[in-house]
Amino acid sequence: MSFTTRDYQARVNAIFNQEVLKVDGMNGPQTRKWIDNAMKSKKVSKQEDIFHDSRLHGIIWHWTASRYEVTQDDLKHYNNVHDYQGNSYDGVARAEHQANYNWRRGIGVSHTKNANTGRIGQAVSAMHGAVGWPTLNWGNFPLTWAGIDAMLQRSAEYCKEFDIPISRWSTLSHAEVERTLGIEQENKWDFMVLPGMPKVGDAIEVGDILRDRLREKFL
């Protein structure tokens, strides 16, 4: 696979865990400067080597908007699915397949619009019938911490294995993708709520809760 400018910008931000670059796909002087800084930080001589050898560089968190039972259709769309009890299921494609994602050839899974290459898709099986607005209605299959923690634990394993930093640019929810990576989505709200929340929150603030929980419980 080849990396896009947007991939480089997100990777640089993830390496330094701060927004040193706007992720906008524009390869300007600031982008080139910060790629050089990342190369120095990683002690590499080629810019593509700021990425892990696997070419994986991100994890995106989802819910399936389905019932609690994990279905074959769920497994076609995510690398792993986690149920409300904390059981984990392998999807039809391993995480490593996302490095060479190609939906036409059936390589990898399609979990996030225009953001599948190099990014692992994790999902909690829940939220069928849930509605966020005008008031939050959890439906009959709400999120559970057992399911979320199973997803975060698997994410921690991937972070260690593939050198994926825990950051807003590399471990993020589907609801954060458009704002953080600049890749247009379709009004996704997974995850803008977590168990116990009385109303929908800000996507990035909720994502920060998940990232903090990942660090504190699983690393």
Q: Report how many domains make up the chain.
A: 2
Cα separation, 67 vs 57, whole angstroms:
30
Q: Which stretches of 78-144 are DSSP H helices?
A: none
Contact 167, 59 (CB under 8 A): no
Q: Are residues 193 and 138 in the same domain?
A: yes
pLDDT at 1: 67
Q: Are residues 31 and 90 in the same domain?
A: no
pLDDT band at 2 (very low <50, low <70, confident <90, very high): confident
Q: Are residues 45 and 81 in the same domain?
A: no
Domain of residue 174, residue span: 58-218
Whichever domain contains 177, its CATH number is 3.40.80.10
Q: Are residues 46 and 85 in the same domain?
A: no
**Using one digit for the tens of pLDDT, what is the confidence trace for 135-155?**
999 999 999 999 999 999 999
